[in-house]
Structures are given as C-alpha cells and as structure tokens.
Amino acid sequence: MLEIGCGTGRVLKPLLESGASVVGVDISHEMLALAHNKLASFCDSGALRLLNHNFVYSSIPERFDRVFVTFYTFNYLLSYENALSFLKNIYSSMNDGAVLLMDMFFPSIYHNPAIEGKWQQRYLNLGAKQIRLSDRRTMRGPMEKREQVFEEDGGRQEITTLRRFYDKNETARLLREAGFSSVKFTDVYDSTLFHQLELLEATDRGFLVMGRREAGGGEG
C-alpha cells in the first residue's frame, strides 16, 4: 500500500496495525521525521518505508495495489496541470486492478457564504493549554485562502494556506484523463470524527473518490 501526503502518519498507523506493508510519501522532511518518530517500530521491522518524493514530477519504480491520498492532500495541488501530472504519476506506480482512494475538501464558504472574508474567533483547549484561533477564509474562483492566527501566552503564529476545490465533475475528468476507470464517489466525509480543530466547519460536505487502474489499462 502507498499513502501520498502521509504527514505525521495518522493513516499509516491503522494500515500498519492491520498487517499491511506500507510506503508513506511526503514532500515535507519535517512531517516524515514526525511519522518516523511515531512509527519507529514499523520502520525497524521493515513494514514501513518513508520516502521524500513529489508525485507531481515523477512516479516511483515500485507498483502498489492500494493508494491513499487523504485529508485533503490533493487539494494542495493548486493547478489542474499539477493535479493531472500527480494522478498520471500515481497511475504509473499502480498494478493492474489497483485502486486509488482520495478524500476531497469542500470549502465551508460554499456551505455558509456569510463567513466569507470575516474573521472568526474561537478557543481551542488542548490539554492544559488554551489557544485563541482567529480564522479567515476567502474564495477566489475555486481557490480558498485561509488565514489562521494562533495566540497563546503572548506567543503568536500566523499560517496562510491555499486549497483548491475540485468538484466531482472536475475530479472525474482528471481521473479519467490520467487513465483511471470505474470512478466512484461517496458523500458525507465527516472529518470531525478525527480532527478536533475542524469542529466548527462544514466538513460534512467533502467527498471520497475512488478510481481503478483496469487490468491491461496501459499507461495513463
């Protein structure tokens, strides 16, 4: 199995615990280091291999039966061209009959237009710590700009992220153009089940998409 955009290994862990042999890929060395610390015993046993690689630019020589792209990793690909090249390179790293599963972000502004451009304040209680989070989202076409300011005991950190929304039509088009078939969607992807910081967001409008590399599918 392959997870692309594995971050700190949240999804790798249950995959490994189910007995799978997994490769975790990320473009961030910091994330890979955190995943390595968290899952060191699986690295030592050889069940987990962590790799710094960007599928926008190339595939990897190994072939996989299951590929996961989770928690909106795909939505950090900001152009159609990069998204297509990412999917084509994944397709090249899959066995015939293999399946790709991705979860897709849905901008909360589409769900609740009143929040566009407005700062929202809330407090996050993380153990003994209380953090004040100011959060503002704006849409430019399909692109969400999210500005977050975290404040705690006089300390302050600002983070700006861009995520591109791909609707189902565009997602299906991309997957088919990359060579995938049997493209299927599932609604109601509720990230509040695992991500506490998203509790006030409309996360339930995201969706899951699956594509298959058919036997004899050839190169994408």
Ligand X SMILES: C[S@@+](CC[C@H](N)C(=O)[O-])C[C@H]1O[C@@H](n2cnc3c(N)ncnc32)[C@H](O)[C@@H]1O
Rounded to whole angstroms, the Cα distance separating 138 from 115 reads 9
Helix (H/G/I), strand (E/B), else coil: 169:
helix
Q: Applying CB under 6 A, does 27 fall inside the site for ligand X?
A: yes
Among residues 165, 152, 54, 154, which one has the least CA distance to residue 107? Answer: 165
Q: In whole angstroms, how close is the CB of 114 to ligand X at the nearest point?
A: 26
φ/ψ (deg, to 5) at 70: -120, 165
Q: In whole angstroms, how close is the CB of 157 to ligand X at the nearest point?
A: 17
Side-chain half-sphere of 74: how many Cα atoms within 13 Å?
Answer: 30
Task: List, in order, residues 6 or more apart from 183 with CB less than 8 Å away.
Answer: 171, 172, 175, 176, 209, 210, 211
Q: How far apart are the first and last CA of the chain?
A: 20
Which of the residues 99 through 118 are near ligand X (CB under 6 A)? none
Q: In whole angstroms, how close is the CB of 77 to ligand X at the nearest point?
A: 6
- Read out DSSP for 13-59? HHHHHTT--EEEEES-HHHHHHHHHHTHHHHHHTSEEEEE--TTT--
Out of 20, 34, 56, 133, the only residue in the binding site for ligand X (CB under 6 A) is: 56
Q: In whole angstroms, how close is the CB of 127 to ligand X at the nearest point?
A: 20
Tokens coding 56: 């926008």
Which of the residues 58 through 77 are near ligand X (CB under 6 A)? 70-73, 76
CB-wise, 2 or 109, nearer to ligand X? 2
Q: In whole angstroms, how close is the CB of 6 to ligand X at the nearest point?
A: 6
Out of 15, 25, 48, 87, the only residue in the binding site for ligand X (CB under 6 A) is: 25
CB-wise, 57 or 96, nearer to ligand X? 57
CB-wise, 96 or 204, nearer to ligand X? 204
Q: In whole angstroms, how close is the CB of 195 to ligand X at the nearest point?
A: 8
- Positions of E strands within 27-154: 48-52, 64-69, 94-104, 120-126, 129-140, 143-152
CB-wise, 5 or 206, nearer to ligand X? 5
CB-wise, 32 or 98, nearer to ligand X? 32
Is the Cβ–Cβ distance between 26 and 34 less than 8 Å? Answer: no
Q: Applying CB under 6 A, does 26 fall inside the site for ligand X?
A: yes
Q: Applying CB under 6 A, does 4 fall inside the site for ligand X?
A: yes
Residues near ligand X, by CB under 6 A: 4-7, 10-11, 25-28, 31, 54-56, 70-73, 76
